[in-house]
């Protein structure tokens, strides 16, 4: 890898929040109703220019914006969500009891096993769902005073909302406690040494993955302006990007697409779980017969969940369910009010594609 690419990799490692403006519904269209990142940012550090999301120096690196953003136009990577979840699951598999806590609410007792995050608000419902299904021995440590004195003022509101949503999907709950209980079987260990080694190896793995992604050239998200272009160069660039993403995903076992950062955890829990598949925890777009096939929804969809095809003068709109993250942009921008997001069975996400409407 040349020096310039290594500089890009290190820049991504040093940045706490990755910004992808081509996924921001607010930047794609002024008709978008989404402003979750601004609403939940505890220091109001997020603002918008015409083409970019700006984060000022007051950012606390809490990760709440990433949880709130449906498309992950803001993606928290210190630490990445997949790394956090992997570490918590590993701790629960290796120990009888594990306490999850915010770094600002530390557990001083070194005789218990803990897992910490910058803020519990950085954990979205999809990750809570995974923990609920895999970590029956996990307890949330939360002091009696709560988050009232914390500078991340919106943190408790966000994590309790996301936890409740995860518990509703899982049909179970995680215990929350303000006291630490020692297990008779708990083995003492050097928590500081273990935390250091875990952090060290996770940093190496994360850097290697960024380097691989930069080498493959799969770091760009196509803008809606580029989607409208039909020249050969644009098509080739898009096809090469798709191939690069596929290679990256096979080599790392994680999605190369930011908007799939949370969705992959939900998809994993759906596999082989018939009860969960029948629940209706998600919303997908329904296109009504009065659609005039203007194509706005398919062009502006930030995740390419909607695509329109024309063959023999017949138009059709196809939905790729797994890519739809309920950002509401298609519903917001439809001039004829022909699109409505409706609750459907979770199993629909497992379908490769679904025909929504056709017209001769």
The secondary structure of 216-235 as a DSSP string is HT--PPPPHHHHH---HHHH
| Residue 23 placed within a domain | no
Task: Provide the phi-psi class of 139: left if phi over 0, else alpha when psi is between -120 and 50, else beta.
Answer: beta
Pick the last residue of a domain from 198, 223, 257.
Answer: 198
pLDDT (0 to 100) of residue 4: 55
86 and 183: one domain?
yes
Give the Cβ contact number of residue 282 at 10 Å.
Answer: 22
* 151 within domain boundaries: yes
Q: 338: domain CATH number?
A: 3.30.70.3270
CA distance 286 to 2: 47
pLDDT tens for residues 150-197?
A: 999 999 999 999 999 999 999 999 999 998 876 555 444 444 545 544
In a domain, 21, yes or no: no
**Residue finishing a domain among 198, 231, 251:** 198
The CA distance from 102 to 194, in Å, is: 18
- For residue 134, tell me if it sits in a domain: yes
Residue 313 and residue 147: Cα distance in Å, rounded? 59
> Tokens 């297990």 appear where?
183
Closest CA to 40 of 186, 140, 147, 157: 157
- Asked whether residue 333 is assigned to any structural domain, the reply reads yes
DSSP 238: H
Which of 136, 169, 198 is the endpoint of a domain?
A: 198
Between 14 and 319, the more confident residue is 319
Say if residue 132's pLDDT is above 60.
Answer: yes
Q: Which residue has the tokens 């706490």?
A: 16
Question: What's the rounded Cα separation, in Å, for the pair 360 and 53?
Answer: 41
Residue 75 lies in a domain: no
347 inside domain: yes
Inside any domain, residue 124: yes
Domain region containing 349: 278-359
Number of domains composing the chain: 2
Supply the pLDDT for residue 234. Answer: 66
CA 34 – CA 71 distance, rounded (Å): 11
Asked whether residue 204 carries a pLDDT value surpassing 70, the answer given is: no
Specify the pTM.
Answer: 0.84
């Amino acid at each position: 890898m040349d020096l310039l690419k290594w500089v890009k990799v290190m820049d991504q490692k040093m940045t706490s929040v990755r910004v992808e403006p081509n996924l921001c519904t607010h930047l794609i269209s002024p008709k978008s109703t989404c402003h979750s990142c601004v609403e939940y940012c505890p220091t109001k550090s997020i603002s918008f220019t015409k083409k970019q999301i700006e984060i000022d120096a007051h950012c606390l690196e809490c990760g709440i914006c990433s949880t709130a953003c449906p498309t992950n136009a803001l993606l928290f990577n210190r630490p990445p969500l997949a790394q956090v979840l992997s570490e918590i699951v590993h701790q629960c598999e290796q120990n009888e009891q594990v306490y999850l806590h915010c770094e600002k609410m530390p557990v001083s007792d070194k005789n218990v096993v803990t897992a910490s995050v910058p803020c519990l608000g950085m954990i979205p419902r999809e990750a809570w769902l995974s923990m609920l299904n895999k970590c029956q021995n996990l307890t949330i440590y939360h002091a009696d005073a709560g988050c009232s004195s914390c500078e991340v003022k919106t943190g408790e509101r966000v994590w309790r909302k996301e936890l409740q949503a995860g518990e509703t999907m899982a049909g179970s709950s995680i215990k929350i406690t303000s006291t630490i209980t020692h297990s008779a079987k708990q083995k003492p260990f050097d928590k500081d040494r273990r935390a250091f080694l875990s952090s060290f190896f996770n940093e190496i793995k994360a850097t290697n993955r960024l380097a691989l992604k930069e080498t493959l050239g799969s770091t760009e998200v196509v803008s809606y302006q580029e989607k409208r272009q039909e020249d050969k160069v644009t098509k080739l660039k898009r096809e090469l990007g798709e191939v690069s993403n596929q290679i990256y995903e096979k080599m790392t076992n994680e999605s190369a697409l930011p908007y799939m950062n949370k969705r992959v955890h939900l998809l994993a829990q759906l596999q082989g779980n018939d009860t969960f598949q029948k629940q209706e925890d998600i919303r997908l777009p329904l296109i009504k017969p009065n659609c005039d096939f203007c194509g706005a929804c398919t062009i502006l969809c930030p995740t390419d969940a909607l695509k329109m095809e024309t063959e023999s003068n017949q138009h059709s709109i196809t939905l790729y369910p797994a890519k739809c993250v309920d950002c509401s942009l298609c519903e917001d921008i439809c001039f004829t009010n022909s699109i409505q997001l409706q609750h459907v069975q979770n199993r629909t996400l497992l379908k490769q594609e679904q025909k929504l409407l056709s017209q001769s």
